[in-house]
Chain A
Amino acid sequence: MATIGHNNLNAKLVLLGDMGAGKSSLVLRFVKGQFLEFQESTIGAAFFSQTLAVNDATVKFEIWDTAGQERYHSLAPMYYRGAAAAIIVYDITSSDSFTRAKKWVQELQKQGNPNMVMALAGNKADLEDKRKVAAEEARVYAEENGLFFMETSAKTASNVNDVFYEIAKRLPRAQPAQNPAGMVLVDRPAEGTRAASCCS
Chain B
Amino acid sequence: MDEEYDVIVLGTGLKECILSGLLSVDGLKVLHMDRNDYYGGESTSLNLNQLWKRFRGDDKPPPHLGASRDYNIDMNPKFIMANGNLVRVLIHTDVTKYLSFKAVDGSYVFNKSKVHKVPSNDMEALKSPLMGIFEKRRARKFFIYVQNYIESDPKTHEGMDLTRVTTKELIAKYGLDDNTIDFIGHALALHRDDRYLSEPALDTVKRMKLYAESLARFQGGSPYIYPLYGLGELPQAFARLSAVYGGTYMLNKPECKVEFDDEGKVAGVTSEGETAKCKKVVCDPSYLPGKVRKVGRVARAIAIMSHPIPSTDESHSVQIILPQKQLGRKSDMYLFCCSYTHNVAPKGKFIAFVSTEAETDQPAIELKPGIDLLGPVDEIFFDIYDRFEPVNECSLDNCFISTSYDATTHFESTVDDVLNMYTLITGKVIDLSVDLSAASAAEE
B136 CB contacts on chain A under 8 angstroms:
199
Most buried by B among A43, A72, A74, A188: A74
Minimum CB–CB distance from B53 to chain A (whole Å) comes to 17
The answer to whether B239 has its CB under 8 Å from any CB of chain A is: yes
Minimum CB–CB distance from B241 to chain A (whole Å) comes to 9
Nearest residue (CB) in A for B216 is A196
Whether B245 lies near A182 (C-beta < 8 A) is: no
Q: Could you say which of B87, B128, B249 contacts A74, with CB atoms under 8 Å apart?
A: B249
Given contacts A72-B248, A185-B99, A186-B441, 8 further A-B contacts (CB under 8 A): A44-B245, A45-B244, A47-B244, A76-B39, A78-B237, A188-B439, A193-B440, A198-B215
Interface-lining segment among B89-97, B373-381, B410-418? B89-97
Q: Could you say which of A68, A79, A179 contacts B444, with CB atoms under 8 Å apart?
A: A179
Q: A55-91, CB under 8 A of B: which get 1 and which 0?
A: 0000000000001110111101111010000000000
Q: Could you say which of B38, B99, B144, B341 contacts A180, with CB atoms under 8 Å apart?
A: B341
Whether B119 lies near A198 (C-beta < 8 A) is: yes
The answer to whether A136 has its CB under 8 Å from any CB of chain B is: no
Minimum CB–CB distance from B324 to chain A (whole Å) comes to 21
- A181-B237 Cα distance, complex, nearest whole Å: 19
Whether A196 lies near B101 (C-beta < 8 A) is: no
A-B contact pairs, 26 of them (CB 8 A): A42-B244, A43-B244, A46-B244, A69-B239, A69-B243, A69-B249, A72-B249, A76-B240, A78-B236, A182-B102, A183-B101, A183-B218, A184-B444, A186-B439, A186-B442, A187-B96, A187-B438, A193-B440, A194-B216, A196-B120, A196-B121, A197-B143, A197-B144, A198-B120, A199-B140, A200-B140
Minimum CB–CB distance from A83 to chain B (whole Å) comes to 13
A44 CB contacts on chain B under 8 angstroms:
244-245
B435 CB contacts on chain A under 8 angstroms:
187
The answer to whether A191 has its CB under 8 Å from any CB of chain B is: yes
Whether B239 lies near A185 (C-beta < 8 A) is: no
Q: B182-216, CB under 8 A of A: which get 1 and which 0?
A: 00000010000000000000000000100110011
B227 CB contacts on chain A under 8 angstroms:
182
The answer to whether A190 has its CB under 8 Å from any CB of chain B is: yes
- A44-B245 Cα distance, complex, nearest whole Å: 5
Q: B413-444, CB under 8 A of A: which get 1 and which 0?
A: 00000000000000000000001011111111
Whether A183 lies near B102 (C-beta < 8 A) is: yes
- Total number of A residues with any Cβ neighbor in B under 8 Å: 40
- A183-B97 Cα distance, complex, nearest whole Å: 10
Q: Which of A111-149 contact B (CB under 8 A)?
A: none
The answer to whether A174 has its CB under 8 Å from any CB of chain B is: no
B97 CB contacts on chain A under 8 angstroms:
47, 184
Whether A190 lies near B440 (C-beta < 8 A) is: yes
A79 CB contacts on chain B under 8 angstroms:
240
Most buried by B among A45, A47, A81: A81
Q: Which A-B residue pairs are the 10 nearest by beta carbons?
A: A182-B100, A190-B440, A74-B249, A76-B236, A199-B125, A67-B243, A196-B216, A183-B441, A78-B236, A185-B96
B101 CB contacts on chain A under 8 angstroms:
182-185
Q: Could you say which of B128, B240, B252 contacts A78, with CB atoms under 8 Å apart?
A: B240
The answer to whether B302 has its CB under 8 Å from any CB of chain A is: no
Nearest residue (CB) in B for A189 is B438
- A181-B441 Cα distance, complex, nearest whole Å: 12
